[in-house]
Structure 1
């Protein structure tokens, strides 16, 4: 039983619902995890997503920013004993248990704070919030070691040298600074492995985000790997493939992130 999961920072679900429809038609996923849905729960387009083939939906959203959702063809059980990260209730995490022939799989969908522009927690509250969020996540998973678990989402940190277009030039740019990458690695070490880099090891360049400021994003290719797929070691033998759908960045009115596709056997 090979399952297909897509994670995507869609940057407004209602605005890009046609792109999601196209993506689903082309890739036929069993599960879709979205970030930055930017829609409050009463306005979530649940019926339209049922029509796309996802009768099982979990979502947590707010007006104008943030927001996460898990859409599934398979039954989902909501996981409600997760923290209120940094006591902000800002819709950055949702979790589900998925029943599979090999037993339940715990799925976590995260949208980590971007952190603003100044990489100094004393000068920039947004950066302080980002560091605190990642520290809190690392501690939570360390205190409750994950089993048969997946973390996906826009973690807003590119941890490795070849996760950015220029390691040297971005060391002082938010998303690739040592305080961020060290904390992200601590979180991953709480019980996960970097599944994307298992399929595409360093030193191959691997990006999932390109700024809107780059008019010709493909020519400049100044990307960063901000979107991640982590698996616990007990699920790694079932890893079949991971693909970054770069071509989606050229669709009409795209997100600045592209989808990442995971194929795995949860047995």
Structure 2
């Protein structure tokens, strides 16, 4: 059994922020990095920097200017999968199998627009439907050891947002989204590693809006990014942390990376 570190980061354009991605990889050196919101077509993904740092196994699911996910790895990757859980062709999922036999699925769940009503806002309905299709998928995993990570665009717990009452009607923390995510979690008995290692009610955030003049001082964060595992590998997770200093790096993403160390 070996140690495997897996990181996840919504980078908000991998080409625009290639410098801080390189900084993160040099400082943290995870074995695998899952990226969301890469905003680049597959053929234009900036592979050279990753390959120069030893990340020679790269799988992407991209599209021009929007969405997009990628997995870059020092370890060989097999069984590449790309699911269209929104049924509209958007590039929001890529999955692989690691040498240990563990599945790794990287997802960028839709944000859902601004109005939490599917009748008034089709984007909100699409988000709920996306989660519904993921729930069907998760229910059929059949005891397959799996890591599910990415930007879920839902902050489920009261301590996952800076002000629970103020955000109850704000997309990402509404009761219907929280309930829908809970059904997904129950479908495979997913373990939320963020809250396994940082128990509530301790606040834990992974996103701070660009609109804040001083994000750190106001600290109006939300935990939108997650890493879940199926029960078979719960005990394989040795540590889990967020890299909050990355929010202050030059031209940062509004999200920060997650890093989990596994024994597999």
Aligned to 1:231: 229
Q: Deviations for 1:95-119, whole angstroms, at most 9, x for unmatched residues?
A: 000012xxx0000000000001000
Instruction: For 1:187 and 1:179, locate their aligned partners in 2 and report how far apart those are by CA, in whole Å.
Output: 13
Aligned to 2:187: 190
Question: Are the aligned partners of 2:241 and 2:260 in contact in 1 as well (CA < 8 Å)?
Answer: yes
Query: Displacement, 1:52?
Result: 2.1
Q: 2:255 aligns with which of 248, 254, 257?
A: 257
Q: Deviations for 1:224-246, whole angstroms, at most 9, x for unmatched residues?
A: 00000001111111111111111
Give aligned pairs, total.
262
Question: Are the aligned partners of 2:42 and 2:62 in contact in 1 as well (CA < 8 Å)?
Answer: yes
Aligned to 1:40: 41
Point out 4+ residue stretches in structure 1 off by more than 6 angstroms: none
What is the aligned-residue RMSD (CA, Å)?
1.0
Q: Does 1:64 align with 2:65?
A: yes
Query: Displacement, 1:188?
Result: 1.2
Q: Does 1:148 align with 2:145?
A: yes
Instruction: For 1:180 and 1:18, locate their aligned partners in 2 and report how far apart those are by CA, in whole Å.
Output: 34
Q: Does 1:109 align with 2:106?
A: yes
Aligned to 2:218: 220
SS at match of 2:86: helix
Instruction: For 2:187 and 2:61, locate their aligned partners in 1 and report how far apart those are by CA, in whole Å.
Output: 25
Question: Are the aligned partners of 2:143 and 2:232 in contact in 1 as well (CA < 8 Å)?
Answer: no
Q: 1:131 aligns with which of 128, 132, 146?
A: 128
Instruction: For 2:152 and 2:142, locate their aligned partners in 1 and report how far apart those are by CA, in whole Å.
Output: 19
Instruction: For 1:146 and 1:72, locate their aligned partners in 2 and report how far apart those are by CA, in whole Å.
Output: 25
Instruction: For 1:34 and 1:154, locate their aligned partners in 2 and report how far apart those are by CA, in whole Å.
Output: 9
TM-score normalised by the chain length of structure 1: 0.96
Aligned to 1:21: 22
Instruction: For 1:91 and 1:116, locate their aligned partners in 2 and report how far apart those are by CA, in whole Å.
Output: 17
Aligned to 1:50: 51
Question: Are the aligned partners of 1:209 and 1:256 in contact in 2 as well (CA < 8 Å)?
Answer: yes
Query: Displacement, 1:2?
Result: 1.5
